Structure 1
């Protein structure tokens, strides 16, 4: 098989902060509408923290449970007073988050160039399939590879090994595309190539001495480099 691009989903293809408008509406009724952006950031950070902690504990649960528990924690931490109905609604919104504006066109360019693309996510296959379908980009991926298949979370080396085994491709022919530095470092540590999608020019990269093979501002810039 030729080179494969394995795209992280949450934060790379799909905008996890696409929930802010719904958060603002829900929080406004409780006098906290101005905290929607902060709530979104803290929810996302805690979601990832919970996956890391569960990975270290060997206590795997599906990623949507980490997301739900992180939502409840953030509500408690910010004392925003969300009810069960609010949390159910927001979890539904999380299942239909939008793709980043340039994603569809960039993926079309990879397809035209004959480059194989797969989605590679901490989310379950069912969740990711639905998310990509609703975002209108599922058809651009040859496969969806989920960590749920090995009951580990990124950046465990086992998940990157699983990706290669599923695709039957050598490490040097596999590129991880992610906006998350921990994912890029995990892939590089596992012997894969990796491109960091640095969506914010202020975003720092972890000073671990493990660098991405490529850094780009968005998926359009990635397509310019690889097609």
Structure 2
């Protein structure tokens, strides 16, 4: 893992907890918020993959709205237009995992440019990052909108190379989504997988180069790597 010149992060589920919307969901259907959030997230992912395969791109915000409409019907938990709009607004304000702010500050202090590469729309990424107060940590916010297709398509991973003006082999890609980590590794990035839940890694012919349980452990590891490289 020598000669790393920058770090590229996934956003949803990696830096920010997508299920922080569960509390808002619970205000509409008491006791069902977590269930709504889980189905919503799974269908959101499926819609990005399916639309990529169909060649029928819509931005992430539209995929998120469509996934919520499906979730409401599938679980037979009615949400009117105002409720769906309010919950989609909550998705623009999801919360970072507890260790993320301090870990990002430590990583930034190491002098490496930090970037986000996300399936989120330009507006979605900017909104989430701004709401968290972490905007100054990132040099680049990169959206799949620029490729008009979603990860794990290779053209999305190429965007970070172009923006940071580095070969992917010089950029550490960080994701908690095993499918995303696999896609990035297949493209050629060295990959760190954040495995907060103790899950098995997907069987897609790829393996992460490093595994941590949280972003704080990544900061510890990068600090150690920096010491070795300077010795």
**Shorter-chain TM band:** over 0.9
1:112, distance to aligned residue in structure 2 (A): 1.2
Structure 1 segments unaligned to the other structure (5+ residues): 28-32
Structure-2 residue corresponding to 1:139: 136
Structure-2 residue corresponding to 1:148: 145
Structure 2 segments unaligned to the other structure (5+ residues): 224-231
Provide the TM-score with structure 1 as the length reference: 0.95
1:2, distance to aligned residue in structure 2 (A): 5.4
| Residue in structure 2 matching 1:182, options 175, 179, 183 | 179
Structure-2 residue corresponding to 1:119: 116
Q: Confirm or deny that 1:216 pairs with 2:175.
A: no
Structure-1 residue corresponding to 2:13: 11
1:15, distance to aligned residue in structure 2 (A): 0.7
Could you tell me how far apart the structure 2 residues matched to 1:49 and 1:67 are?
Answer: 10
| Residue in structure 1 matching 2:84, options 79, 83, 87 | 87
| Aligned residue runs from structure 1 range 17-166, under 5 A | 17-27=19-29, 33-166=30-163
Structure-1 residue corresponding to 2:226: none
SS at the partner of 2:28?
A: helix
Structure-1 residue corresponding to 2:227: none
1:127, distance to aligned residue in structure 2 (A): 1.6
SS at the partner of 1:79?
A: coil
1:4-48 Cα offsets, whole Å, 9 max, x none, are: 110101111111000111111111xxxxx2221111111000000
Structure-2 residue corresponding to 1:30: none
- Contact 2:140-2:163 at 8 Å conserved across structures: no
How many residues are matched?
221
- Contact 2:4-2:172 at 8 Å conserved across structures: no
SS at the partner of 1:120?
A: strand
